[in-house]
Structure formats: C-alpha cells, structure tokens
C-alpha cells in the first residue's frame, strides 16, 4: 500500500485543494488522527526509538503545510500562544498532552492583552485537535510524550504571539518555539 506518510500527505493535499477553509482542515484533522493510529507510520517516523525532539517529516511544496514529529524526553509546559495566520493540528501518539484554550478579552496584536482560560482538555493517544490561526492555546505534556503536529505553514515565517497572563502582555515569538 505504500508509505503511510506519503498517503496522508496526498490525501491532505486533496482535501485542502478542495476546501482550504475550516471544512478542509477538519478533513485533515481526521486524516492525521488515523495516521497516528497507524502502527506502520508510528514505527517508521515517531516510534520510541525516533530521535529526541522535533523533526520535520514533510513540507508540501505547493500548499506549504508542514508535518512535524515530536519525541519528547522531558516534560514541557508552553505559555499561552497562537499560530498567527496559520492553523495547527496536534495528534497524540503516546502519553498525553493537556490543552488549554484561552480567550482574549482586550487588545489586538502585541502589547496589552488580557486573556482568560476558556476550556481545557486532554489529548490521548489516537486523538487530534485543530487550532485555527489566532486561537490562543497552551500545551502541557509529560516526559515520553510523542505526537505529530501539522501546521498550515512553516511557523518560522509566520508572525505569532506569546501571552503572559501575569503581566497582561502579548509579545511576538521570534522563532518556531512558543517557549
């Protein structure tokens, strides 16, 4: 049947060509949920013996979406952040990721930014969540977490914001890391 990552990327490209909006991204979310449940994919790309840290598995030359694999050996909690004009799908392979979604009460762009927790939930293995563009969220995972993140663009080239609830300020993220 061929490489599961290649099949996923082809199906995602078709879905996003047909509808680059929310419905197309929801199709991709379901596709990535199936991908992280595929033992062949996990073994080949994000199994327990995969390199530690973040790896780019694929970047689409036409549509720009990026597939990243993560094998985390240490726990991590990010501050609240967004993905700017890009979307992101997180899909859990092992352990879990606690997701927190925030609402911005005032302000726009960098500077004063009052945010409040809207809802939180846990992504367990085989589950995927879609975060559309400026949705503010934070992630928290234990050591041993493995997951895939698909972004609509290379986040190194997308202006994004990090939020500090203690100071009520939003600042531009200088690199691909929200930390």
Chain segment 139-179, per-residue pLDDT in tens: 999 999 999 999 999 998 899 999 999 999 999 997 655 55
Q: Looking at residue 175, what is its pLDDT?
A: 66
Burial code (b: 16+ CB inside 10 Å, e: under 16) for 151-178 equals bbbebeebebbbbeeeeebbeebeeeeb
Q: Which domain holds residue 100?
A: 4-172
Q: Name the E strands within 5-113.
A: 53-59, 66-71, 76-77, 88-94, 97-106, 111-112
Please tell me the predicted confidence (pLDDT) of residue 134: 83
Count CB-CB contacts under 10 A for residue 37: 15
pTM: 0.92
50: pLDDT strictly greater than 80: yes
Class of residue 147 by CB neighbours under 10 A (exposed 0-12, middle 13-18, buried 19+): buried
User: pLDDT tens, 5-18?
Assistant: 999 999 999 999 99
Residue 157 lies in a domain: yes
Q: Count the domains in the chain.
A: 1
Whether 178 is in a domain gets the answer no
The rounded percent of the chain whose pLDDT value lies above 70 is 97
The answer to the question of residue 21 being in a domain is: yes
Residue 51 pLDDT exceeds 60: yes
Classify residue 79 by its DSSP letter.
P
Is residue 127 in some structural domain? yes
Phi-psi region of 144 (alpha: psi -120 to 50; beta: other; left: phi over 0): left
Q: Is 177 contained in some domain?
A: no
109-113 average pLDDT score: 94
Say yes or no to pLDDT of 108 above 90: no
Sign of CA dihedral 175, 59, 97, 74: negative
Whichever domain contains 106, its CATH number is 2.60.120.10
The answer to the question of residue 179 being in a domain is no
Which pLDDT belongs to residue 174?
Answer: 73
Is 155 a domain residue?
Answer: yes
**pLDDT single digits (tens) 72-104:** 999 999 999 999 999 999 999 999 999 999 999
């Amino acid at each position: 049947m061929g490489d599961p990552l290649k099949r996923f990327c082809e199906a995602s490209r078709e879905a996003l060509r047909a509808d680059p909006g929310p419905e197309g991204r929801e199709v991709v979310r379901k596709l990535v949920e199936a991908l992280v449940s595929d033992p062949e994919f996990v073994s080949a790309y994000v199994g327990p013996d995969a390199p530690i840290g973040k790896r780019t598995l694929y970047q689409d030359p036409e549509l720009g979406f990026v597939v990243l694999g993560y094998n985390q050996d240490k726990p991590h909690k990010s501050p609240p952040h967004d993905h700017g004009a890009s979307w992101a799908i997180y899909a859990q392979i092992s352990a879990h990721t606690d997701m927190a979604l925030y609402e911005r009460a005032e302000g726009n762009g960098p500077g004063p930014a009052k945010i409040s927790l809207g809802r939180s939930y846990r992504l367990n293995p085989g589950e995927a969540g879609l975060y559309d563009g400026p949705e503010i969220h934070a992630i928290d995972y234990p050591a041993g977490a493995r997951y895939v993140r698909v972004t609509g663009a290379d986040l190194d080239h997308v202006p994004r914001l990090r939020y500090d609830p203690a100071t009520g300020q939003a600042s531009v993220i200088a690199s691909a890391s929200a930390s």
